[in-house]
Structure 1
Amino acid sequence: MSEVTVLYEGYSNMTGKDQMTANCSCTLITGTHNVVVDTMTAWDSQKIITALQKHNVSPDDINYVVSTHGHSDHIGNNNLFLNAKHIVGFSVSFREQYYMHPFDKGEEYVINDSVKVIPTPGHTLSCVTVLVTTAEGRVVAICGDLFENYEDIDNPNVWLEAGSDDPVQQMKNRLKVIEVANWIIPGHGAKFHVTEQIRNSLRKQAGNAPV
C-alpha cells in the first residue's frame, strides 16, 4: 500500500483587479513506486528538494511525476525528476518516448495496486486525478484543479471563476471522484475529509446542472 504526504499546500488569492498570488499543492506518494504529483512553479525547485529530503527521498528516487494538467504552476519543476516517467494531463512520456494511453476514452492508467491515474477533464480538457488507496483502505484523491479548495463545495463560483474549459464535464467528474474518495487534496487549498454531507451537496448540484 501507499502513503500520501502533502509537501506543500496550494493557495490562490486575488491581490488586485488583474493580479493574484497562487501556487499548487505538491504531493508525495511513497510505496511500491514513489510519485510526485504537481511540481509547483519554476521558482520552487529548492523547496521541493528540501521537502523530499525530510522524507529521505531524492529526486532520483521518484518513479513517476504526475502533473494533473499543463498549467505553469503544476509543471514548473518536472525536470528535477529525470529518472521518472512523466504523466502530464493525458500525455505519458519518458525522455523522448511517448506512450499512447486512451485517457480520452475514459481509461485509467494503473501505476500499481494502490495508485492509479484517471481522466477528469473539466478545468482543462486533459485534466487527470490520482487515486491512492492507503494501508487503512482509505482513498485519497489528488485532484489538481478539479477541486480548487474546500470552499468550492458550497460555492461553485470558486471553481468556475478559476477557469473551466468544460463546466458540465467538470461537475460530473467532481461528483465521480467525491463518490469514491475519503480525502481530497485540491489544487489550491488544504486537504479535506469527504463527508456524506459533501457528497449530497455535489449530487444536488449535479442534478441541477444543465445536460
Structure 2
Amino acid sequence: MDTEVDSARCHRVCVPETQLDFPGQTYSVSVLKVGYSDPQADGTCRADGTISLITGLRTILVDTGGPWDRDVLLQRLKERALEPRDIHIVVGTHGHSDHIGNLSLFPSSLMIVGYDLSEGDTYRPTQLAEGLPYCVDEYVSVIPTPGHTGQDVSVQVKGTTAGTVLVAGDLFECCSDMNSWRDLSMNTAVQEVSRQKALCTADVIIPGHGLPFRVVRN
C-alpha cells in the first residue's frame, strides 16, 4: 500500500480497488467509479471524476462523472436496484465537466452544486458561502472546502465502520497528490487550509481522481 506523510501529522494509506465499500448502520458509502487523471505526452490530460453513492436514510449521489459516463453511471445504479428517480440528493463538488456531466439524469433530485442548492428551477439559500455546512441530517453534511475552485464542497458521512468518510471531490486529486494538486488550484493557500481540516477530521477520504485513502494520525 502507498503511504504518504502529511503536514497534519498523519499519513495516508491507499485503499485497494477491491475495498471500495464503506458500510454503516445508518449510512454506507460506495465508490461507483474511480476517477483518474493521466497527463499525456502532447500536453493534454485524460481525466474523469470519481462517482460515489451514499445510501441510508437518504440516497445521495456525489459527482456524476463526465457526459461520457452516462451509461456506466446508469448501469452502476441499476446493479444496486436504483433508478435516477430514486436519488434524493445529487451533489456536484464543483462545476468542472468531469464531475457534473450527468446532472440532467436527475431532474427530480435536490441539487447541490458548489454553493448552489436547487429544487427544479427554485434556488434556495444556504450558508455554505459563509463557511457553514448544509446538514442533511446528523450523519451527513455538505461542507465548504474551497481552493481548487472558489466554491468546492465535500460530503462528510459519519458513523461508517471505517469512521468518518469524506467524499472530497478535487480537494484531493488522489492518495499521493502531496504537491501535484497545487498546479490545479485556483487558490493554494485556501485549499491548503481546507485540506488540513479534512486530514484532521476524516478517517477515509475519497479523492476526485483516484482510489480512496485512510488517514492514519501519528
Q: Provide the TM-score with structure 1 as the length reference.
A: 0.89
Given that 2:162 and 2:203 are in contact with CA atoms closer than 8 Å, whether structure 1 keeps it comes out as: no
Identify which of 138, 148, 160 aligns with 2:182.
160
For the pair 1:111 / 2:132, whether they are aligned, the reply is: no
Q: Which structure 2 residues correspond to residues 62-73 of structure 1 after superposition, within 5 A?
A: 62-73=87-98
SS in 2 for 1:147: coil
Deviations 1:29-67 (A, max 9, x none): 000110000001111111001001111111110000000
Where does residue 179 of structure 1 map in the other structure?
Answer: 200
- Which residue of the partner structure matches residue 94 of structure 1? 119
Q: Residue 175 of structure 2 aligns with which residue?
A: 150
The alpha carbon displacement at 1:17 in A equals 3.3
Matched, 1:170 2:195: no
Query: In the alignment, does 2:43 pair up with 1:30?
Result: no
Greater RCO (CA < 8 Å, at least 6 residues apart): 2
Q: Deviations over 1:168-191 (max 9, x none)?
A: 010000010111100000000001
Query: Residue type of the partner of 2:195?
Result: R
What letter is aligned with 2:60?
Answer: V
Q: Name the CA distance, whole Å, in 1 between partners of 2:152 and 2:75.
A: 28
**Using a 3 Å threshold, how does the CA distance of structure 1 residues 17 and 63 change in structure 2: closer, same or farther?**
same
1:26 maps to amino acid = I
Q: How many residue pairs were aligned?
A: 193
Give, as a single letter, the amino acid of the residue that structure 1 aligns with 2:169.
G
Secondary structure at 1:56's aligned position in 2? coil
| Alpha-carbon RMSD | 1.1
- More helix, by proportion: 1
| Residue 135 of structure 1, CA deviation | 4.0
Gaps of 5+ in 1: 198-211
Corresponding letter in the other structure for 1:190:
L
SS at the partner of 1:141? strand
Partner SS state of residue 136, structure 2: strand
Paired letter, 1:23? D
Contact 2:95 2:114 in 1 (8 A): yes
Gaps of 5+ in 2: 1-25
Alpha-carbon distance, 1:18 to partner: 2.2
For 2:87 and 2:107, how far apart are their aligned partners in 1? 9
Q: What residue identity is the alignment partner of 1:182?
A: D
Whole-Å separation in 2 of the counterparts to 1:11 and 1:93: 29
- Between the aligned residues of both structures, percent identity stands at 38
2:40 aligned residue: 15
Match of 2:215 among 167, 176, 194: 194
Q: CA deviation at 1:102?
A: 1.6
| 2-structure distance, mates of 1:111, 1:187 | 22
Q: Secondary structure at the match of 1:52?
A: helix
Distance 2:96 2:188 in 1: 17
Q: Which residue does 2:107 correspond to in 1?
A: 82
Normalised by the length of structure 2, the TM-score is 0.86
Runs of 4 or more, structure 1, over 2 Å off, are 134-137
Partner of 1:125: 150
